[in-house]
Structure 1
Amino acid sequence: MVTIYDIARLSGVSKSTVSRVISNHPYVSTETKRKVMKVMQEHNYVPNSLAIQFRQKQTKCIAILIPDLSHPYFSQLVKYISADCYKSGFKTVVHQTFLDKSREREVYTQLQKNEYDALILTSSTLQEEEIAEFTGNNIIVACNEDFRGDYFDVFCLNEEEVTMNVTSYLLSKGYTKLGFCSDNISSPLQQARLKGFILAHEKKEIIHNKNFLFNEISTIEDGIILGNRLFKENLEIDGIIAGSDFVAAGLISSAVRKNIQIPQRLAIIGFDNHPISLVTNPQMSTICNHIQDMSNDLVNHIVNKMNGVKHHPIKKVYNGEFIERNSS
């Protein structure tokens, strides 16, 4: 079996030079690199990736923590993050927690054992302080969730402001009996949205109806079921801000089948600007969350941290964009 020492001897260079060629180190001449690579190819030499990772103290692997991959938003987020990680030379491992705290803690333990170079946290059942305690000095970056950013870096949408803006938009158009949907109201993200929803009412001096706050609504099916309930019970809701475009699509489907006119009788606004928002009838008003920009920025940030760029935790907030179509 050919070893790195054999490659060095046959190439007429030192072992450390071969190591630099393998790791693509910049301080190796083109001629030396060509000579070493030729010898490696002739002898079918394959570097031991685990040994390289150990020497470099990197696994070249980044973990992504999500609640459920079947959720349209998280599957889209993982798609962009994985692609950006791949472009930067990193593999990704996706962990689904299904909102189970023990599953989440297991991933933090793996991070502490250096099984990953970094962890991207898209959702959590724990408080920021708890997460920091479990992860120590390891690289962890939150995206999507609106954490304070006292202990680790955060990249997120300004959920409170954009929700306040679209709520104000509906109120100003005369829709005063509004509903609000969330998939997990205990999360920082959903709390920020709810705060924006309530603030918009307070600024207009309109009291929001707490009975119109709906939790654990996340799928098309959930939207259909909620819509059927609203129309069957004749609840006096004239507008609703859905937690996602898929929930909004379910609500629109239910309304159309019940001959509820949209937006005359019921205005509906989705979230995420997913392509499904373009195929509903009427076309769905929604919120663009700049997910691609966020993904690109956070992966570049992680790579910089791995390369030794040190700074205090940062929080980068992206402004959502309201896209008005025919459902509001």
Structure 2
Amino acid sequence: MVTIYDIARLSGVSKSTVSRVISNHPYVSTETKSKVIKVMQEYNYVPNSLAKQFRQKKSKCIAILIPDLNHPYFSQLVKYISADCYKSGYKTVVHQTFLNKEIEREVYTQLREYEYDALILTSSTLSEEEIAENTRNKIIVACNEDYRGDYFDVFCLNEEEVTMKATSHLISKGITKLGFCSDNISSPLQKARLKGFILAHAKKGLKHNKSLLFNEISSIEDGIMLGNSLFKDNLKIEGIIAGSDFVAAGLIRSAVSNNIQIPQHCSIVGFDNHPISLVTNPQISTISNHIPDMSNDLVNHIVNKINGVKQPPIKKVYKGEFINRNSS
């Protein structure tokens, strides 16, 4: 059976070009289109159902772009979004970028070529302007990251406010040697958290310690390694705002190994209210991120847009909740 890849090879063009010919895309030269159609006719090639969807410009499929599925937050986010899409009659395809710009741009190309009806963007290495330029008015909704919302719809948590609240809680207990963990400080989300951390200090007339800002800390193992460097010889820190409950769990594991009592010697606050926060000893104080509500809202919104509802870009911000447990 002849496939689209065979047609591309025999025509001397890319698979994407063949897809554009099938979908009657305007950006294909008459000469190229004629060459591809001639090969298709010669080999009696019948486009499959996906190609028919290209022609109809509907795939009933939504792409989800994430940096790494191994990250506990993103695996949880994908779980809810995929379930909500399925309930609405849409399949999902998950693309991991691993923070690679070229991989990300390839997915945007697929969106432009109607392989997906819409794209849900959870994180990006590009600016908002670059994302808009690459997606060219196709349906894209961002969640998780705190983008301005000038070019596409945004659903996100108020990271700055809730991080300030958690930091203020620790400062109110007399804790001033405070650390802050991020997994990628270049992202808008992490920048918002850091801003909240700094503002909490400023409101109390304090300066944060720049030597206690830790980047690329995202896993249990990272938390253990960071904890060992802080706790092994002497206590260099009184409290830590961790980037996730998994990092917090690693810090607690390290504290136990180094005879550091939590929270008596060091208070720890996690993020995401993941179930792991309930199984450590002590249980982890954390921040609720409202993933279920955000997922439901953004999927309903994106389906409405696919069905032709027109409106300017919206930005919906959710209020986080600081959950005070035994680690702080």
TM-score normalized by structure 1?
0.84
Match in the other structure for 2:297: 297
Match in the other structure for 1:24: none
Describe how 1:303-314 pairs up with structure 2 within 5 A.
Answer: 303-314=303-314
**CA distance in structure 2 between the aligned counterparts of 1:50 and 1:245, rounded to whole angstroms:** 41
Identity %: 83
Match in the other structure for 1:105: 105
SS where residue 174 of structure 1 aligns? coil
CA contact (8 A) 2:232 2:258 kept: no
Match in the other structure for 1:195: 195
**CA distance in structure 1 between the aligned counterparts of 2:119 and 2:130, rounded to whole angstroms:** 15
Match in the other structure for 2:316: 316
SS where residue 65 of structure 1 aligns? strand
Aligned-residue offset at 1:235 = 5.0
Q: Which moved more, 1:271-280 or 1:224-233?
A: 224-233
Write the deviation string for residues 173-199 of structure 1: whole angstroms up to 9, x where unpaired: 111110000000000000000000001
Match in the other structure for 1:130: 130
Which amino acid in 2 is paired with 1:227? G
**CA distance in structure 2 between the aligned counterparts of 1:49 and 1:213, rounded to whole angstroms:** 52
Aligned-residue offset at 1:114 = 1.1
CA contact (8 A) 2:272 2:287 kept: yes
Match in the other structure for 1:223: 223
Q: Which moved more, 1:254-263 or 1:179-188?
A: 254-263
Match in the other structure for 1:165: 165
CA distance change for structure 1 residues 89 and 52 in 2, over 3 Å: closer, same or farther? farther
Please say if 1:151 is aligned against 2:151: yes
SS where residue 295 of structure 1 aligns? helix
Match in the other structure for 2:208: 208
Aligned-residue offset at 1:52 = 6.1
Describe how 1:273-284 pairs up with structure 2 within 5 A.
Answer: 273-284=273-284
Describe how 1:231-242 pairs up with structure 2 within 5 A.
Answer: 231-234=231-234, 236-242=236-242
Match in the other structure for 2:53: 53
Match in the other structure for 2:85: 85
**CA distance in structure 2 between the aligned counterparts of 1:205 and 1:242, rounded to whole angstroms:** 23
Gaps of 5+ in 2: 1-47
Match in the other structure for 2:256: 256
Aligned-residue offset at 1:258 = 1.1
Aligned-residue offset at 1:264 = 1.1
**CA distance in structure 2 between the aligned counterparts of 1:224 and 1:56, rounded to whole angstroms:** 52
Q: Which moved more, 1:109-118 or 1:54-63?
A: 54-63
Which amino acid in 1 is paired with 2:211? N
Match in the other structure for 2:327: 327
**CA distance in structure 1 between the aligned counterparts of 2:312 and 2:210, rounded to whole angstroms:** 39
Rg: which structure is higher? 1
Write the deviation string for residues 76-132 of structure 1: whole angstroms up to 9, x where unpaired: 100000000000011100000001111111111111111110000000111111100
* Corresponding residue pairs, total: 281
Which amino acid in 1 is paired with 2:272? D
CA contact (8 A) 2:60 2:89 kept: yes
**CA distance in structure 2 between the aligned counterparts of 1:57 and 1:110, rounded to whole angstroms:** 12
Which amino acid in 2 is paired with 1:298? L
CA contact (8 A) 2:54 2:114 kept: no
TM-score normalized by structure 2?
0.84
SS where residue 309 of structure 2 aligns? coil
CA contact (8 A) 2:54 2:115 kept: no
Q: Which moved more, 1:98-107 or 1:243-252?
A: 98-107
CA distance change for structure 1 residues 59 and 234 in 2, over 3 Å: closer, same or farther? same
**CA distance in structure 2 between the aligned counterparts of 1:128 and 1:164, rounded to whole angstroms:** 25
CA distance change for structure 1 residues 233 and 113 in 2, over 3 Å: closer, same or farther? farther
Aligned-residue offset at 1:261 = 1.0
Which amino acid in 2 is paired with 1:203? K
